[in-house]
Structure 1
Amino acid sequence: MIIRDYVIKEIMRTFAGVFTVLFLIILSTQLLRSLSAVAEGRIALDFLFELIFFKNIESLVLILPLAMFLAILLALSRLYKDSEMIALSACGIGPSSLLKSVLIVLGAFIFLEAGLAMVLAPWASSKMQFAQESYKAESDIEMIIPGQFNVADNGMRVLYAEDMPTVGQLKNVFLHVDNGDSSSVMASDDANVVTDSRQGARYIVFQDGNRYDGNSGSLDYRFIKFKDYGVLLEGKAFTSFDLDRESMPTKELLQSGTLVHRAEFQWRVSQIIMMLLLAVIAVPLSKTAPRQGRYGKMAVAILLYIGYSNLLVVAMNWVRQGVVSPGFGLWWVHLLFLTLFLVLFVHQMGWLSHFKRSSYQVLNCPKEFDDLVDK
């Protein structure tokens, strides 16, 4: 019991450090990407911190399995490096006991990963999609800054409004539109943004104004005085939108029979299975020689994680494209890594060896230990 608690404490302490490092890396990356999106005008500045929050919730689904995998690997590798496993094996503590300790730690984290993959990550994705769709719909109006020239369509349209008492109400406004071979200017004291309730299209309606058509520097122009004149905006009023597959609740994915939705459901379940399989693979993988060092298997572990993730992505795309049946789906990837775990674990346990030790003596002890036992 004391040894098991010691192993669990070592794993949790290492997990805290690894998770913090990975989370800070992801946080800084998301911050830079979000700031770039704000600078390019793809999202509103007011939504910046919410976007980072929701993005990091999504990232936790992938961070947790990797952090747990590396934490178990590093914690157990330290025991081998410091020769503590030799002492533990003398007390009958071997890979099977370590595996039980790892499964105890995984008990709580599996439920956390399931909650993230099945509930929280889709919810965060839907919140981001909602905000982005809303921003796209309102960006034409929100980007109008009173007292400044507001450029749109790569300089093809320039709007100026002296004042905006309320959203959608403009004072002393003019609009210049470049039509290629000619240009038009609309000007009036008042203008309003009007939404077509049927199509959702939005217009700037100039009231009691003038329109000038012609070319700069030419006397050939046309003058029109109007009562109301509407100019179509690119955006549409925000009414409703279809959720992306990443944003759909898991319950709706189960009720849908399309290949895309079935592939997405299997992807979410796969995150939970991947966390479990990587954690147990770390037990036999962590075995190192004292001189090999604590980080001797890090490169192999990262390659395993990348390979596992990429194979899942490939398998998901195959299901979405109908290359493989949903019954085969993503499960073959998990079967492949389960086989890898069994091969590594059986080899570490020595069940296929021809040594005199029985299978419950789970570590290959130094030769000095064999001589002592024989005596």
Structure 2
Amino acid sequence: MLLKEMLIPFVLAFSALNALLLLGRLLPLFEPILRAGIGFKDMLRFVALILPTFWAFVLPMATVLGVLLGFLRLSRDSEALALFACGITPRKMLIPVSLVVLTAFVAGLFISSYVLPKSKMASKIFLIELTQLALARGVPEKTFFTPIKGLTIYADKTANGGKSLDGIFIWDSRKQGSTSQILAGHGEILVAPGGKEAALRLTNGILNMTGHDYKDTDTMEFKDYTLRLRLAEGAYEPSRGDLSIDKLWKEINNPKNTKDDNLSYLTEFYERLALPFGTLILGIMAAPLGVFFGRSGLSGGIALSLTAFLTYYTLMISMANLAETGLTPPFLSLFLPNAVFLCITAATLWLFDRKGAIKD
């Protein structure tokens, strides 16, 4: 019975949070998606790739909501008092809670270690392909169009669906160490077979290349110039968030890395481990809180869950930022929120075991 009371709100919370975060992620991409003209099948593929990127956050939140709302209902309907009257002790009531949160802990550890980095990298590659497809379909007229980070294209007039351009201005800072400004009278987008690579052939223009220190400047006129419309070098390289837990550990022990690189990898490594432990601690804490605040109702339960988790998550982010500066050891910083909430959980469990349900 207790498992059912927790699982139903867990599933509802998990689904609702995923839908909410997915909507927020897709809205900024709505225009590029339309411009790329991808089909329904590719859209479903993108949703499947991007959903796991939310799970490291959604799973602990849904676990806390599921456990707390389940026990809120038991307390509100006086079923918790009835269970105590039948000889069911608080410790026995925590057995199904332990099963739920342990399952969530193992799942969260696996997600943060392996699923999350693979999903991030796969969705990143998909967005790169989406960018190339959007470019292949043309440039909008009289709009500063930034299809790629570091590349902005403006065309005074367009034709042939945005593939033929007149009055062109281009700002290109994709290459490290220099920035290019291009003015051209005419341009035409050339698309490779498959539509995933494109180039812009420019005629009758001026190329001005400036170093980032603005000391070195080269200017040349051209009759024909081909600009490859591709991402900057390293765009396909995985960042630390795209690495699995074992690859992170290898990077930590890589003698070629700088001290700052090792600090960054260590912070990411311990952050991946700390959050699943937070799921375990907060999930257990939610059971006695659900009983103690049983009269607060559904809205009160949701507010209490959000407050507890967001407090924990804010503290986790703050300590991660502190660890990045090198002022405190990453392990100490990232596991301090867990230590704080472990003490709070121990106090609530002691009170729950001693007093049971608190009557009005």
Report the TM-score, using the length of structure 2 for normalisation.
0.72
Aligned equivalents of 1:191 and 1:69: distance in 2?
52
Of 38, 49, 58, the match for 1:63: 58
- Counterpart in 2 of 1:373? none
Kindly state the Cα deviation for residue 20 of structure 1 after the two structures are TM-superposed: 2.7
1:322 to 319, 326, 329: 326
1:120 counterpart = 2:119: no
Match of 1:75 among 70, 87, 102: 70
| Separation in structure 1 between the aligned mates of residue 70 and residue 91 of structure 2, nearest angstrom | 16
Q: Which of residues 297, 303, 315 is equivalent to 1:299?
A: 303
CA–CA distance in 2 between the matches of 1:178 and 1:296? 56
CA contact (8 A) 1:202 1:236 kept: no
Structure-2 separation of matches of 1:205 and 1:304:
57
- Paired position in structure 2 for 1:354: none
How far residue 260 of structure 1 moved from its aligned partner, in angstroms, is: 1.1
Amino acid at match of 2:154: G
Show the counterpart of 1:17. Answer: 12
Match of 2:99 in 1: 104
Following the alignment from structure 1 to structure 2, what is the Cα–Cα distance between the partners of residues 280 and 14? 16
2:6 is aligned with 1:7: no
Which residue among 138, 141, 144 is the counterpart of 2:138? Answer: 144
Q: Residue 348 in 1 paired to residue 345 in 2?
A: no
Query: 2:89: which partner in 1?
Result: 94
Matching of residue 252 in structure 1 with residue 247 in structure 2: yes
Paired position in structure 2 for 1:155:
154
Q: Which moved more, 1:65-74 or 1:49-58?
A: 49-58
Find the counterpart in structure 2 of residue 169 from structure 1.
none
CA distance change for structure 1 residues 21 and 336 in 2, over 3 Å: closer, same or farther?
Answer: same
Give yes or no for the alignment of 1:273 onto 2:277: yes
Shift of 1:212: 8.9
Task: Using the TM superposition, give the Cα deviation of residue 287 of structure 1 relative to its aligned residue in structure 2, in angstroms.
Answer: 1.7
The answer (yes or no) to whether the contact 1:140–1:234 under 8 Å persists in 2 is: no
Q: What is the SS of the residue equivalent to 1:29?
A: helix
Q: Secondary structure at the match of 1:129?
A: helix
- Using the TM superposition, give the Cα deviation of residue 323 of structure 1 relative to its aligned residue in structure 2, in angstroms: 1.9
Change (3 A) 1:17 1:174: closer
Name the counterpart of 2:259: none
Unpaired runs of 5+ in structure 1?
1-5, 165-172, 195-200, 214-225, 351-361, 368-375
In the TM superposition, residue 276 of structure 1 has moved relative to its aligned partner by 0.5
In the aligned structure 1, how far is the partner of 2:153 from the partner of 2:230?
15
Q: Secondary structure at the match of 1:204?
A: strand
Counterparts in 2 of 1:127 and 1:178: CA distance versus 1, 3 Å? closer
Contact between 2:67 and 2:283, CA under 8 Å: does it hold in 1?
Answer: yes
Q: Max radius of gyration: which structure?
A: 1
Q: 1:288 to 1:236 in 2, by over 3 A?
A: closer
Shift of 1:79: 1.2
Give percent identity, aligned residues only: 19
SS in 1 for 2:201: strand
For 2:201, the aligned partner's letter is I
Residues 309 and 149 of structure 1, relative CA distance in 2, 3 Å threshold = closer
Query: For 1:201-248, what per-residue CA distance to the aligned partner results, in whole angstroms no more than 9, with x for missing partners?
Result: 966277xxxx599xxxxxxxxxxxx9x832435645888632122112
Number of aligned residue pairs: give it: 312
- What's the counterpart of residue 316 of structure 2? 312
1:204 aligns with 2:204: no
Residues 313-372 of structure 1: per-residue CA shift (max 9 Å, x gap): 11111111212112313111100000000111112222xxxxxxxxxxx526869xxxxx
Q: Deviations over 1:248-299 (max 9, x none)?
A: 2221211223111111111111221111111100121112376544554432
**Native 8 Å contact 2:138 2:161 kept in 1:** no
Aligned residue for 1:285?
289
Equivalent pair of 2:290/2:301 in contact (CA under 8 Å):
yes
Q: Which has the higher helix share?
A: 2
Distance, in Å, in 1 between the alignment partners of 2:18 and 2:189 is 48
Query: TM-score, length-normalised on structure 1?
Result: 0.69
1:270–1:330 Cα contact (<8 Å) kept: yes
Q: How does 1:162-241 map to 2 (within 5 A)?
A: 176-177=167-168, 185=185, 204=201, 211=204, 229-233=224-228, 235=230, 241=236
What's the counterpart of residue 358 of structure 1?
none
What CA distance in whole angstroms lies between the structure 1 residues aligned with 2:23 and 2:224? 48
User: In 1, distance between residues paired with 2:107 and 2:153?
Assistant: 47
2:49 maps to 1:54:
yes
Letter in 1 for 2:49: F
Mapped partners of 1:292, 1:205: distance in 2: 67
